[in-house]
Amino acid sequence: MKWLIYGGLAVAMIAAVVILIGAALPKGHVVSRKMGLKASPSDVFALIAGPSDWRGVKYELLTENPLKWRETDSNGAITYERVETVAPTRIVNRIADPTLPFGGSWTYEIAPSGSGTELTITENGEVYNPLFRFVSRFIMGHTATIEKYQRDLAAKMEPRQ
């Protein structure tokens, strides 16, 4: 019985330390990743600006003006909105659900590069919950969402080496 109490106390102390570290971390972060694609800038723009069902998520259009949609995957559903569109060079999307424990925006900058395209994705993220902040920073990494998007994009369009 004594070991069960010690084990429970150890788990509680670890959880408290994780939450304290998470509370000390800044809520906001900015990360960016680049990738080259063999496709033209207009083709890259068209894919990113259109429905995101090519990424293996369920895509549901909510409104067209302003553009709002919901993406559902194994982690749940998130509602997004389009903040800016400058064809064919820039798209900015953001999370449109203030009830989530995180939020932020993604800026897609599309530029010609040689015979293809260079895509820069910048995440301006916020993680409100200290536990999630710890997980985002030390376990998942702030770049996890961008890197997953890049893998999905590379599976759809040929990456440039």
CA distance 111 to 127: 30
Residue 3 pLDDT > 80: yes
pLDDT value of residue 63: 97
Q: Tens digits of per-residue pLDDT, 52-64?
A: 999 999 999 999 9
Residue with tokens 């990113």: 48
Instruction: Kindly report the pTM of this predicted structure.
Output: 0.91
pLDDT value of residue 159: 87
Q: Tens digits of per-residue pLDDT, 107-119?
A: 999 999 988 999 9
Which sequence spans correspond to the domains of the chain?
Answer: 2-156
Average pLDDT over all residues of the chain: 94
Yes or no: say if 109 and 123 are a contact pair by the CB < 8 Å rule.
no
CA distance 43 to 4: 59
Q: Tens digits of per-residue pLDDT, 9-36?
A: 888 999 999 999 999 999 999 999 999 9
Question: Which CATH class for the 2-156 domain?
Answer: alpha beta
> Roughly how many angstroms between the first and final C-alpha of the chain, as a whole number?
59
Confidence of residue 6 (pLDDT cuts 50, 70, 90): confident
pLDDT value of residue 87: 95
Q: Tens digits of per-residue pLDDT, 71-117?
A: 999 989 999 999 999 999 999 999 999 999 999 999 999 999 988 99
CA distance 13 to 11: 5
Q: Tens digits of per-residue pLDDT, 37-54?
A: 999 999 999 999 999 999
**Residue 131: what are its φ and ψ, rounded to 5°?**
-65, -45
pLDDT value of residue 7: 86
- Region 117-134: mean pLDDT is 96
Instruction: Tell me whether the omega of the peptide bond preceding residue 51 falls within 30 degrees of 0, making it cis.
Output: no
pLDDT value of residue 145: 93
Please give the single-letter amino acid code of residue 111: A
**Residue 85: what are its φ and ψ, rounded to 5°?**
-135, 120
